[in-house]
Structure formats: C-alpha cells, structure tokens
Amino acid sequence: MQEQLRILAGKMLADGRAARVLGWKRTDFETAPEPSFFTAQDDLSELVYNKYCAANLSGFMIGAGKRDGVTVVFLKPCDTYSFNQLVKEHQIDRAKAYVVGVSCGGNAKVEEMEDVGWLERCLVCTKHDHVVYDELVLDESLSRPEAQDRFGGVTRLEGLQSLERYEFWQGELSTCIRCNACRNVCPACNCKKCVFDSAKYDTAAKANVTTFEEQLFHIIRAYHVAGRCTDCGECARVCPQDIKLQLLNRKIIKDINELYGEFQAGQDTETLGPLTAFNADTDAEPSIVHTRG
C-alpha cells in the first residue's frame, strides 16, 4: 500500500494537480513517523504508511486549505469523520483538498519507541468505512483487532458511587501537566484563541495550580467539542500521562445517543449537530440526571 501511495502522490505532483501531499514521513524510528507535507517527487521515498501512522491528518488541513493549490491528504477511515466535521464547520476548503482514503488495520500504541499493543481507540473502533474521499487505496488483507464495547469504560464508571467517581477523576487529572497536547491535537478544537490562552480572562493558565483547575480545563475541553467530537481518540493517544480522556468525550457521546438519538459527528456535512438542534416536545429536562441512575 505504501508503494501505491507513493506512486499516486508522485503522479499528482508531477501533473500539477496537487501543490503538496500531506502524509507521514519516515524518521529515525519506524514506530514514530512524522506528519509532513511533501512538495518534491524526490522526497516521496520518505513517505511511509504502516500501523504507526496514527496521527490524524485532517486537522492540518485547516492550515493547508489557506495555502495556494490543492493538497492531497491521506485519511484513515476514522480520520475522514474529522475531515467531514471540519468541512461542515467551514474550517476546511473542500475544493482545495484531494482526499485519498487509505485502509487501516488499527494503530499501534508506542511507548519508548516500542510497540506495546493496540491503541485503545482501535480496540473499540466502529468507523470502518471512509465517509469522504476522492479516491480510495485499499488493502483488503488488513484485519482489525477484535472489537470491544466502545462505552464499556463509561458504563463501568457510571456504575460507581459518586465519591468513587470523584476519586477516580482526581487520580487521573492530578497527573495532568497542562501541556495542552489533547487540545491542540484535536481537529475539533480549532478556536483561533482558546479561553485558556486568552490574557483577557483569568482562566488563562499554564499550569493546574489547584485541583479545581485540573477539573476546569478537562470539563471545558471535553464539553466544548460536545456534539462535534467524532471520537477519533487523538486526545488520549497524545497525552504524555496517559490520562483516560476518551472517557469524558464518550460520556457526552453516550448521553447524546441515549437522550437525543444516535448521532455520529462527521457522518455527513449537513445534519444539524445535537447541540445546534432541539426537539421542543421530547427533550428531557436536566433533572433527568437525578433519575438515570
């Protein structure tokens, strides 16, 4: 597949249909390819595609869309949902992107450059098909790890007592170093100025000084992408402290599914999101939180 991608990218660059190709570049470590823009055909020998190409490239397309010419971008099935969501939010210029959907057999979790199994997101993957593409490069021989229940972790936590949940989150969030990697890597987190960076508010913070600030940052980060989060799992992948951030995002997704009907962000570019729509007659009152167990 890697070879096919190189040939395709080479053709696009050679006949001038594309100004650049966004893919993954070989580095000193096989397990750590780097997202990269290729503009010269000669460099394409550095283009790689394997199970370590975990980075979701759709977020980079926001910037690429502001440059001249068409950008070829390789997207795994789950990445295409993020891409679609960004098109829906008018963040990506669809006309300036040439989407090449690539097959995915799951991405590896890497620690100290060692392959230590699958990424959690790949174990619960539900997004098997590309929802947007101009061309597909498929490899039917790739098989995915056996699927587990996506909401299993959320359900387990919901079953605990309030205080136990509180203690669980205190334990998780107290390790947060506020590097903002979860926020910056998130395709949905694309505000030009984040409230946590803006000097106009005293929410701007470069460290969690108190446990409150740990909670504040993570509640707002998760909530701000409510209804827009495609569950691409990048936040959890990049967290240097391995905080289970996906649980926060999935709790919101689970609530949306249960209260307002099944919804998958990025499925298409037209449907109104669950928080930009309402049902005057059937929507539950917030007090439902008290009775849902």
Longest dimension (CA), the chain: 62
Q: Given the structure tokens 């109104």, which residue do they identify?
A: 272
> Which of 162, 262, 270, 282 is close enough to bind other proteins by CB under 8 A?
162
CB of 138 to other proteins, least distance (A): 26
> Which of 3, 15, 129, 202 is close enough to bind other proteins by CB under 8 A?
202
Q: What is the CA radius of gyration of the chain?
A: 20
When the beta carbons of 62 and 144 are compared against other proteins, the nearer one is 62
> Which amino acid makes up residue 98?
Y
Task: Pick the piece of the chain touching other proteins (CB under 8 A) from 9-17, 25-33, 83-91, 142-150.
Answer: 25-33
Which residues, 86 to 115, sit near other proteins by CB under 8 A?
111-113
Binding of residue 280 to other proteins (CB under 8 A): yes
Whether 85 and 189 have beta carbons less than 8 Å apart is answered as no
When the beta carbons of 11 and 292 are compared against other proteins, the nearer one is 292
Which residues, 222 to 261, sit near other proteins by CB under 8 A?
222-223, 226, 234, 237-238, 240-242, 248, 251-252, 255-256, 259-260
Q: Choose among 54, 89, 78: nearest CA to 190.
A: 89
Whether 77 and 253 have beta carbons less than 8 Å apart is answered as no
Binding of residue 47 to other proteins (CB under 8 A): no
H-type alpha helices, the chain: 2-14, 60-64, 77-88, 120-123, 152-158, 162-173, 181-185, 211-224, 234-238, 246-260, 288-291
Binding of residue 171 to other proteins (CB under 8 A): yes
Binding of residue 210 to other proteins (CB under 8 A): yes
Which residues, 114 to 153, sit near other proteins by CB under 8 A?
none
